Structures are given as structure tokens and as C-alpha cells.
Chain A
């Protein structure tokens, strides 16, 4: 029997940016639901076997974010209406009076049907609708990015109702913007404890940068201009006259978006130690083959 494709956890263990990174890289299709955390009254032990914290279970749903093939397509907060009229009103495409009338006369119309009506009545254009939905979706996601402890469930394959208007949004820029907005030092220190790593571009960087139409800030471009596989993050920070936390924030954003990769420095003693240590500890090939044969036969 096929296992239900769910990923469960809490934002205490995986930050929203990490989840989006996973969804982006794995090109996942599905819906991420975030819940109020309800204490079970028990404690869970962390991986170090010592630290404990209250166990939370999913309570009322707080938000829902949908993805298709690694792209963000829809998001809503349970506490807010995501009716198209309200989305357009928030974006300034409908005035208060238009909003009120539409809600009173077409409260139950589907978003797609309402969109057609509004376009045909020349209230708004198709571009207005797409921009407004995109803006609303991003606002919801940036709001969720500030949450820190909510339980989540990612349900693979689940999509928004067919009457909802979905706008595909590349996650790379969303992740970078989330990191820009999230300057929590602790997370950055944890994610990038060592500034002595160099940075390099992944394979075919030009294609990657062009494909996702990356919109980098001036400071981010300055950092990118120093990336050559040899300059360490610390050296780049000095060259760009940036603080350690400043460079961490930028590099973490670029890493999370998959636009750069870390090059770990060769430990001074490790490469030299490697052959001798392995030779010293490691038996000859026939011994390893004996181990393989024996384990196969168990």
C-alpha cells in the first residue's frame, strides 16, 4: 500500500525558508497547511537526548499555501477573506463602494466567474487580477515567514479548489525576500556558523539566474561579483565593507535560493592525514571484500 505522502513537523524545527527550499528543489506539488500549536501536556526530547520542549499538536488551521511543480501558486490565511473582491480591494483596484456592492451581490460567486464579470464590466483588467492575486499570495507567505513554532503538514498532490485563481511564482525570489525580511541573528549564525567557506556558482549559473529572473539588490550583486570559488565569505564581507551578520544574511538568501553553493575549505591536516590514516586503519582490499561477502551471506 502506498504511503500517504505527507511531511509533518513544526516551524521550530524547519523554518519556512527551509520548507520552501525543499519544495523548490524537489519540485513538489501539494499544499502546506499551518496550524495553531496546541500543547499536548507532554514534553518531547530533542536529538541531543537532553533538551526538552512542550509537544505541540496541530489545532485550528491558520494558513494554507499551495505549490505546483515547485512554484508557489496560492496562499490564504484562515483569519482573512481571500475572496477575489477583497483581494482586489486590498490592492487598490476596487474602491470601498465597489467592494461593498460586489460582496453583497456576488459573495458566493467563484473567483474565476467573478473575474470574468469584472473584466467584462471594465472594472479591472486581467493584468490587474493577476498582479493583485500575486501580491496577496506573497503577502500571506511573507507573513507566515515570521511564524516560528506552528505545526505544519505538507500534503503532496493536494491543490486549491478549481475555482481559485492561481498565479505561479518562482520560489527563489520569494526565499531571498523572506531572508531579507528575516534578520534573526540566531538563525543566520546557525545556518552559517563558519565564514571561512568559499562560495561557488552551481552548474550553468547564467541559465539559473536568467531562468528565474533573479532580482538581486545592489549589495547582493556586489557579493555575487566576488564569488569565484576561492574567496571566503569573510574575505567577501571585507571587500564589500559588510558586517558578519550582513554578509550572512545575503549569503544565506543566495544559498537558500540555490543560486550559490558553499565550498568547504580543505582542513589543513585532513587531506594529508587522509591517505595515511586510511592506510593505517583500513585493511587491504581483500579484507573489505571478505566483509562484503560475509555480510551478503548473513
Chain B
């Protein structure tokens, strides 16, 4: 019997924690197409690597089924990759850095873009909720104008248990979508 593969896409603004999210749950070392952020720049203080094409993680479900997690590049100049990565996805997660209001507008724009690519279920993950300056998830919902019927989940991308909750909630949404 042929191996079945399904995929989910993890998207969001630059430095919102997409790579970390996949790294926390993937059973393989994440295959990243990262490049080193130039030294001496502010970005270098935020993160030392940035994704330029995609991240790739894998969870083997059983002998016949594999889940792939694709992380999109955060920088807009690589947004030509987004539609390619969105092709055939089961659903997607929009990561938002809850501590960086300067990225909220971009997060909303990315969310709308992915919704336009494919009308698949999605959830929003309010990342970095362990940080003191994080905006509470429910305040983010209002600031980003996210409908009440969209799941907005507190998240810490480096915490596997929190990442599991986000993925499970997305899967529950997919099941609900099947029921309608």
C-alpha cells in the first residue's frame, strides 16, 4: 500500500517562532533552509538564523501515514514560496509574536493571504506567552480583528505540550469542517 502523506503549514511574520514550533514537535531534525542573519544588525539580536525558503518537519503516524509540517519563510521577499507551500495543505497555523505589536498588522495580512490561497481550516497561535511583555490572547483577538469563531490559542513554541495543543485544535477544526 502506498504511503499517504498529509501536510500542515505553519506561517506568520518574521521571527514569530515558526521554526521553533516545528522543531518542538518534529521527530526529525528540522530541515531548515536558514541563512545567517548579518552580524551587527538588529535582527542579529532577535535571531541568528532566518528561514529563506521553508522549514520542514515530520511526524510519522504509522507505517502508512506521515504528517509533514512546512514552515514558511518570514521575509516578504520570499512570499512567492507561500502559495507553493499552501498547495494541498490540510490546514494552517498562523503564528503571532505576542510581544511585538509592530508585527500584528503583518500577521493579519498573512492570515488573509493564506485564507485566499485555500479555504482550509486554520488556527492562530499567540506565541511567546511565557514572556512578560506578551499581549494576552484575547486582547490580540481584538487588536487583530479575528472573528470569535476562529481559534486563537496561547502558545509557547519551544514547549512541546503547547505545540501539541495548537496542532490538535487545528485537527479538531478539520474534523468539524468535515461535519459541515
Contact = CB atoms under 8 A, between A and B. Distances in A.
Given A270-B119, A274-B119, A295-B164, A47 B142 contact: no
Interface in A256-298: 267, 270, 273-274, 277-278, 280-283, 285, 287-292, 294-296, 298
B39 interface: no
Interface of A: 3-10, 12-14, 18, 21-22, 25-26, 42-50, 52-53, 55, 190, 267, 270, 273-274, 277-278, 280-283, 285, 287-292, 294-296, 298
B123 interface: no
A4 B62 CA distance: 44
B113 to A, nearest CB: 12
A21 B104 CA distance: 16
A14 B104 CA distance: 9
Contact of B61 (A18, A21, A290): A290
Give the interface residue-count category, chain B: 35 or more
A298 B171 contact: no
Contacts of A22: 139, 142-143
B84 interface: no
B62 A290 contact: yes
Nearest to A279: B178
Contact of B132 (A3, A287, A290, A292): A3
B107 interface: yes
B13 A296 contact: no
Contact of A9 (B62, B73, B101): B101
B3 interface: no
Contacts of A295: 25, 59, 164, 167-168, 171
B106 A48 contact: yes
Contacts of B45: 42
A26 B139 contact: yes
Interface of B: 4, 6, 13-16, 25, 41-43, 45-46, 50, 59-62, 65, 67, 73-77, 88-90, 100-107, 110, 116, 118-120, 132-136, 138-139, 142-143, 160, 164, 167-168, 171-172, 174-175, 177-178
B171 A13 contact: no
Nearest to B164: A295
A187 to B, nearest CB: 11
Contacts of A274: 119
A40 to B, nearest CB: 10
A222 to B, nearest CB: 25
Contact of B67 (A267, A270, A291): A291
A21 B142 CA distance: 8
Contacts of A294: 59-62, 67
Contacts of A267: 116
Given A47-B103, A49-B75, A7 B139 contact: yes
A47 B106 contact: yes
Nearest to A277: B118
Most interface-central of B61, B110, B116, B172 (chain A CB within 10 A): B61
Nearest to A294: B61
A291 B171 contact: yes
